[in-house]
Structure 1
Amino acid sequence: MIFRVALAGLSMALAPLAAQAQTASSSPPPAVVVSTVTEQSPAALNKYVGRVIAVSTVDLQVRVTGFLEKRNFTEGAIVKKGDVLYEIEKDTYKANVDKSSATVKGAQATVTDNQKTFERMKFLRDKQDQPQSAVDQAEADLQSSQATLGEAKAQLELDQINLGYTTITSPIDGRISTTNINVGNLVTPESGPLATILSVDPIYVRFYMSEADLVDARQKGLIGEDQAKLDVEITLSNGDVYPKKGKINYVGVAIEQSTDTTEIRATFDNPDGILIPGQFITAKTMDPAAKPELVAPQLAVQLDQKGHFVFIVGDDNKVERKDIQVGAQQAGMWVVKSGLEKGQKVIVQGLQKVQPGIVVKPVEQQS
């Protein structure tokens, strides 16, 4: 009888535990927030502050004296090589060309006449009708007229050059500044630049690399004696990344002792004119041979005595621990060297609810 009472008491004691177990087994799986493991471009090797500079800067100088008659461009606009930008009065210089041209024709006629005389004197000398002295005089007259013709041609060429200087054309493609002298003013070679043209495509970016970074790049073979393998990526002052990468085309020949840096210059295509000479930028050097890296959110990565690990959610929504090797941190992410694969789901929120083997309800993290 006592035994039956004891069994009844035990049954009553176990009943709540069984009910709890039944309730637990029927409760929904806990919700967790997951993020997908992705690849991203390798991190920048180094960052530098830099400036945009023009490949070519040309001051338009006056070569002759005269009144400025025309300006054929819009200030601040793009001009092309060969475009006529300014015109100086031509009348005086054209008259000089005409005069020199006439002088050349007269000198040429004299040379022709003296040549015939010289040939005739030689013929008569051979027939003993003229002395050698007459031949010598005719030859001297011919040589003198030839010298006069040479001088006349040189003067004509000089006058033609000066006439050409009355038309000022653009020597490069680029953007032109405001004009320094307005139409109607007298200009001379001492007047200073009429305007300045800066090339814009391609364009340079200049920054200064520390001695330590330069040594490191040389040791890795990224900067050699005659070429640099590094790519350069720039960020504009508004935070946007410029869509085109640049190539280093110049590495300074010495270290500046006052700053322990050397000049680096990279070339960028600039078809849309986004980069402007004098513009402030942030430059990043990149190894173009580096492969994309796996990254996982820092919120997902945990650390215990075994090392870094994450919890992933498999296809069956079961939680699994993954031990990982991590690299550098960047922008809220860990670079994952090993232990994960692209596309796996790591838990970033709800970690306190999970342990290996349980089933969860994953919710993708909103970007």
Structure 2
Amino acid sequence: MKHTSIYILAVTATVTWSACGSKQQQAGPPPATPISVVEAKKTPAAYYDNYQGIVVALNTVELRSQVSGFITGIFFKEGDVVQKGQALYEIDRRKYLAAFQQAQANVLSAKANLSKAQKDIDRYNMLLKNDAVARQTVDQATAAYETARSQVAVANAALASARTDLSYATISAPFTGRIGISQVRLGAQVTPGTTLLNTISAENPVGIDVVINEQQIDRFYKLMKSSTDTTFRLQLPNGQMYGSTGKILAVDRGVNNQTGSTIVRVQFPNPNKELKDGMSGVLQVLNDDSGNRIQIPYKAVVEQMGEFFVFTAQDSIALQHKVNLGPRVKDDVIVLDGINEGDKVITEGIQRLRDSSKVTTAAPAQPGAQGKPAAK
């Protein structure tokens, strides 16, 4: 019985080994993965860095009175464009007009006293030549003349001050711009330097203020010297692109030591008054890497642990390449380095690929396409 058991085990092992060997011979190498490829080509690529910005009027002023009184006239329509020198508000002028007229009278009086003093000194000097008057009398006449002359100067200064106060009673537009909603109404009392009457802003051109970090300051100084008509674009709040391009007007004088940032102001023409003071927008700045760049479908990119890879097909072999990507361009992406122009980039089937995997661009075989024909 013992010999019989050994014989059966040996036969079983032989059969098992034969079956395994037969399966290994039938398995063979894994089939090639079907793929689709596109050729990597260089295309003109212009892409932009985005900065959130605010529209600012390049010239804006708050109107405040320099004299006290009550508003007796408003001579504009709120929201309209007013011309430089146009009268906007009037403060009760009666007190200032009376002071001006009094100052004029004082000037006339001082000039009359000066004229009398001049005649006195001329007469005394003539008498002094004939030794007909005392020297002391001449000296007193000379002093009276100098006093009268100084009084004329004082009166003229008072007249100029009264004229200025009278002019301040009428508030005019300092420049051509759009005026806002009045903060005071007829009959309102105003206090010098305190009461805000209105605000005027120039509308053409305007600026866009953006905040940049200190590492980008050198870049914007270079753009100030070498920017082109396509360097700065503006995206409006409704998503549309503004029709004109801009140029750098100024980089702020210093850096905020709390945030490490500074402000750049870009000037845009605004002939149609489309841009309003305080409006938000996105300033688009042409990236330095723009130019003829390799562009491939974004679906060809594989991300692994924060790094990006693409597969290229070469002699039926898939080769993996680490790439440095630029920005997205719709369904495509810019490749800054990692592959070359003309490479066959794999776009389909990349989920099943590993480096050096076998690939084929032929369509996969359909079931029943090989072997014996089906029985009729």
What SS is found at the alignment partner of 1:149? helix
* CA distance 1:175–1:293, shift in 2 (3 Å): farther
Specify the alignment match of 2:104 in structure 1: 101
For the residues of structure 2 that align with 1:252 and 1:59, how far apart are their CA atoms?
23
What SS is found at the alignment partner of 1:183? coil
For the residues of structure 2 that align with 1:213 and 1:133, how far apart are their CA atoms?
81
Specify the alignment match of 2:33 in structure 1: none
Matched, 1:187 2:186: no
Once the two structures are TM-superposed, the CA of residue 228 in structure 1 deviates from its matched residue by: 4.5
Cα shift readout 1:269-292 (whole Å, capped 9, x = no counterpart): 1121211122111111126x9986
1:295–1:333 contact (8 Å) kept in structure 2: no
Once the two structures are TM-superposed, the CA of residue 255 in structure 1 deviates from its matched residue by: 3.8
Counterpart residue type for residue 279 of structure 2: Q
Identity of aligned pairs, percent? Answer: 25
Once the two structures are TM-superposed, the CA of residue 50 in structure 1 deviates from its matched residue by: 1.4
Task: Return the match for 1:229 from 226, 231, 249.
Answer: 226
* TM-score, with length taken from structure 1: 0.67
Once the two structures are TM-superposed, the CA of residue 165 in structure 1 deviates from its matched residue by: 0.7
Once the two structures are TM-superposed, the CA of residue 99 in structure 1 deviates from its matched residue by: 1.8
Size of the alignment, in residue pairs? 285
Specify the alignment match of 2:180 in structure 1: 177
Give the alignment of 1:83-232 within 5 angstroms: 83-189=86-192, 192-215=195-218, 217=219, 222-223=222-223, 227-230=224-227, 231-232=231-232
Counterpart residue type for residue 229 of structure 1: S
For the residues of structure 2 that align with 1:86 and 1:70, how far apart are their CA atoms?
5
For the residues of structure 1 that align with 2:97 and 2:42, how far apart are their CA atoms?
73
For the residues of structure 2 that align with 1:126 and 1:353, how far apart are their CA atoms?
132
Specify the alignment match of 1:75 in structure 2: 78
Matched, 1:267 2:267: yes
Specify the alignment match of 1:9 in structure 2: none
* CA distance 1:254–1:140, shift in 2 (3 Å): closer
Once the two structures are TM-superposed, the CA of residue 205 in structure 1 deviates from its matched residue by: 0.8
Once the two structures are TM-superposed, the CA of residue 238 in structure 1 deviates from its matched residue by: 0.7
Cα shift readout 1:255-313 (whole Å, capped 9, x = no counterpart): 434434322111111121211122111111126x9986478773899962359xxxxxx
Matched, 1:304 2:312: yes
Once the two structures are TM-superposed, the CA of residue 185 in structure 1 deviates from its matched residue by: 2.3
Matched, 1:43 2:51: no
Specify the alignment match of 1:247 in structure 2: 247
Counterpart residue type for residue 116 of structure 1: K
Specify the alignment match of 2:238 in structure 1: 238
* CA distance 1:233–1:132, shift in 2 (3 Å): same
Counterpart residue type for residue 312 of structure 2: D
Counterpart residue type for residue 233 of structure 2: E
Counterpart residue type for residue 49 of structure 1: Q
For the residues of structure 2 that align with 1:353 and 1:54, how far apart are their CA atoms?
63
Once the two structures are TM-superposed, the CA of residue 93 in structure 1 deviates from its matched residue by: 1.7
Give the alignment of 1:1-80 within 5 angstroms: 42-44=46-48, 46-80=49-83
Once the two structures are TM-superposed, the CA of residue 87 in structure 1 deviates from its matched residue by: 1.2
Choose 1 or 2 for highest CA Rg: 2
* TM-score, with length taken from structure 2: 0.66
Once the two structures are TM-superposed, the CA of residue 137 in structure 1 deviates from its matched residue by: 0.9
For the residues of structure 1 that align with 2:332 and 2:84, how far apart are their CA atoms?
49
Specify the alignment match of 2:329 in structure 1: 330
Once the two structures are TM-superposed, the CA of residue 96 in structure 1 deviates from its matched residue by: 1.8
Please, which runs of 5 or more residues in structure 1 have no aligned partner? 1-36, 308-324, 341-347, 355-367
Once the two structures are TM-superposed, the CA of residue 222 in structure 1 deviates from its matched residue by: 2.0
1:293–1:335 contact (8 Å) kept in structure 2: no
Cα shift readout 1:151-181 (whole Å, capped 9, x = no counterpart): 1111111111111011100112222221111
Once the two structures are TM-superposed, the CA of residue 251 in structure 1 deviates from its matched residue by: 1.9
Counterpart residue type for residue 242 of structure 1: Y
